[in-house]
Amino acid sequence: MAGLGARVWVVPGGRIPFPSSGDEPEFTSFDQLCVLNTGDEPAALEITVYYEDREPVGPYPVRIGARRVRHVRLNDLVDPEAIVLGRRFGCVVRSPVPVVVQFLRQDTRLPGAVGMTGTMAFPTDLP
Amino acid sequence: MAGLGARVWVVPGGRIPFPSSGDEPEFTSFDQLCVLNTGDEPAALEITVYYEDREPVGPYPVRIGARRVRHVRLNDLVDPEAIVLGRRFGCVVRSPVPVVVQFLRQDTRLPGAVGMTGTMAFPTDLP
Amino acid sequence: MAGLGARVWVVPGGRIPFPSSGDEPEFTSFDQLCVLNTGDEPAALEITVYYEDREPVGPYPVRIGARRVRHVRLNDLVDPEAIVLGRRFGCVVRSPVPVVVQFLRQDTRLPGAVGMTGTMAFPTDLP
Amino acid sequence: MAGLGARVWVVPGGRIPFPSSGDEPEFTSFDQLCVLNTGDEPAALEITVYYEDREPVGPYPVRIGARRVRHVRLNDLVDPEAIVLGRRFGCVVRSPVPVVVQFLRQDTRLPGAVGMTGTMAFPTDLP
């Protein structure tokens, strides 16, 4: 059965906070993409990262199983290259099957405080 | 009269923060689904929970009256099983009638600070 | 010229945090509806408030001028009755002309910390 | 190739927090529009700012390259006039090509704490 959602999702507001405070990895600052694949086929996603002052980088491959969720810390993407902490970026997630994508940031730059923000990513190919 | 909204809503970014600090239940860490049923029929919702490494669990039944709001702390769902604190998940809410669903997180892992984030859930069957 | 947006907006996740700490009114805890009317006609909005355990209350009348923004602290609505602080609710905004509505919460229950969350409200009559 | 998104985006909930605490510019309070142009043409955006008690101001011109992201701190807009800190506003972004716009606020009014909130802006001309 086909899953719920869309095949292309956009997040313009990326910037992994730097530095972090508190215990790792729980309190490490991060930008995260949370992907839910409710369908019955696994999916090979491709993430493209856009910058202010250079050409886009990617695709970053991310696999997600059928009927699975995956929370991708963008800090952890290293191939083809790591995203520099504190650098402004945006990203596009492309999936061969419908998925839903949510953006989440955790900011622990200040000791003793956790800032959080997030939003549903923007879908561009709604059926 | 039919209510406002959609019948299927998706939230990929679930993870109930753990532990909590401060007085319970007001400052307990939670992930929450806020559901508004503006229609004239009560609704029996079904929540399905998706994980990273196992098959989905559910349905979790949740009832909501006609012309009522209900804020469901996902910490409180226990049948068919509790959601483990700190575990990553996503969820899908299905309703026989149109409703609107908003996601909200309260994070009190650090004493003296309250992190909050949220977003409208993603509707997949807009009329 | 007609304005941008939709005529009906829904917010399920209302709950004005209680109590507040810090200087009033700047650090008072609030739930807020931010409304933008980009059109050339003023609008008489009507807000209906939904609860967990009683019938909806309203309409609360709110006027907004042509080409104006208005940020409505729900704490300030008193007619037909005030919203009890700390009580869970949802709300629907109806407008005779298209507007855009954003939800914002400020939470100062803990001294020395400001929690904030928000989301675009959910539009139900997109053209 | 045409980019992803829409040509008109709306944010009703603007208010640059005032004052700031902590090191500048990293911890300066701000309201920000994050714009992603995935297309192959640069774009000259126009931002219009709406107020509670006066006519709209603008357009504020903002350029964004092809295949680029740009994070615009609204504090930095000065022509035709600066946005007064702490004043309530809304804004509309118009683009000749499709883009995606996300709103982000950082609030450092209280020393030692960072409040953050944000949401995808509201698109009004979806294809």
pLDDT in tens, D12-60: 999 999 999 999 999 999 999 999 999 999 999 999 999 999 999 999 9
The rounded distance, in Å, linking the Cα atoms of C68 and D13 is: 12
pLDDT in tens, chain C (127 residues): 789 999 999 999 999 999 999 999 999 999 999 999 999 999 999 999 999 999 999 999 999 999 999 999 999 999 999 999 999 999 999 999 999 999 999 999 999 999 999 999 999 975 4
For residue B68, the number of C-alpha atoms closer than 13 Å in the C-beta half-sphere is 15
Domains delineated in chain D: 6-122 (2.60.290.11)
Alpha helix (H) ranges present in B34-107? none
pLDDT in tens, A103-123: 999 999 999 999 999 999 999
pLDDT in tens, A79-109: 999 999 999 999 999 999 999 999 999 999 9
How far separated are the first and last CA of chain C, in Å rounded? 15
Q: Is the peptide bond before C59 cis (omega within 30 degrees of 0)?
A: yes
Mean pLDDT of B67-92: 97
User: CB C52 to CB B71 under 8 A?
Assistant: yes
Report the mean per-residue pLDDT for chain B.
Answer: 96
Structure tokens at D36: 């992603």
Mean pLDDT of A31-54: 98
- All residues of chain C having their beta carbon less than 8 Å from the beta carbon of residue B5 are 10, 122, 124
CA angle centred on C15, ends C94 and C61, rounded to 5°: 30
Alpha helix (H) ranges present in chain C? none
User: CB A52 to CB D36 under 8 A?
Assistant: no
- All residues of chain D having their beta carbon less than 8 Å from the beta carbon of residue C22 are 110
Distance (Å) from the alpha carbon of C76 to chain B's nearest alpha carbon: 21
User: CB D116 to CB A107 under 8 A?
Assistant: yes
> For A15, phi and psi rounded to 5 degrees?
-175, 105
* Percent of chain D residues past pLDDT 70, beyond the cut: 98
* Percent of chain B residues past pLDDT 70, beyond the cut: 98
Residue pair C16/C29 in contact (Cβ under 8 Å)? The answer is yes
Mean pLDDT of B59-71: 98
The rounded distance, in Å, linking the Cα atoms of A63 and A67 is: 12
Largest CA distance in chain C: 46
How far separated are the first and last CA of chain D, in Å rounded? 15
Among the partner residues A4, A115, A117, nearest to B92 by beta-carbon distance:
A4
The rounded distance, in Å, linking the Cα atoms of B99 and A33 is: 26
Length of chain A: 127
Report the mean per-residue pLDDT for chain C.
Answer: 96
Task: Say how many C-beta atoms besides its own lie within 10 A of residue C61's C-beta.
Answer: 12
Q: What is the SS3 assignment for A66?
A: coil
Q: Is the peptide bond before C19 cis (omega within 30 degrees of 0)?
A: yes
Distance (Å) from the alpha carbon of B53 to chain C's nearest alpha carbon: 30
Residue pair D43/D97 in contact (Cβ under 8 Å)? The answer is yes
Distance (Å) from the alpha carbon of C121 to chain A's nearest alpha carbon: 12
The rounded distance, in Å, linking the Cα atoms of A13 and A91 is: 8
Q: Which of D63, D34, D122 is nearest to A13 (CA)?
A: D34
pLDDT at D119 over 60: yes
Largest CA distance in chain A: 46
Report the mean per-residue pLDDT for chain D.
Answer: 96
Structure tokens at A91: 């990203």
Alpha helix (H) ranges present in chain A? none
pLDDT at A1 over 80: no
CA angle centred on D84, ends D83 and D86, rounded to 5°: 120
Distance (Å) from the alpha carbon of B15 to chain D's nearest alpha carbon: 18
Mean pLDDT of B58-78: 98
User: CB C13 to CB B118 under 8 A?
Assistant: yes
Residue pair B40/B98 in contact (Cβ under 8 Å)? The answer is no
pLDDT bin (cut points 50, 70, 90) of residue D126 is low
Residue with the two structure tokens 């615009």:
D72
Predicted pLDDT of residue D13: 98
For residue A57, the number of C-alpha atoms closer than 13 Å in the C-beta half-sphere is 15
Name subunits touching D (3+ CB pairs < 8 A): A, B, C
- Rg of chain D over Cα atoms, rounded to whole angstroms, equals 15
Predicted pLDDT of residue C1: 74
pLDDT at B127 over 60: no
- All residues of chain A having their beta carbon less than 8 Å from the beta carbon of residue C119 are 119
Q: Residue B101: what residue type?
A: V
Q: Which chain B residue has its CA at the smallest distance from D114's CA?
A: B115
- All residues of chain A having their beta carbon less than 8 Å from the beta carbon of residue D71 are 13, 15, 52, 88
Task: Say how many C-beta atoms besides its own lie within 10 A of residue C87's C-beta.
Answer: 14
Predicted pLDDT of residue C2: 85
For residue C18, the number of C-alpha atoms closer than 13 Å in the C-beta half-sphere is 10
Predicted pLDDT of residue B125: 80
pLDDT bin (cut points 50, 70, 90) of residue A125 is confident
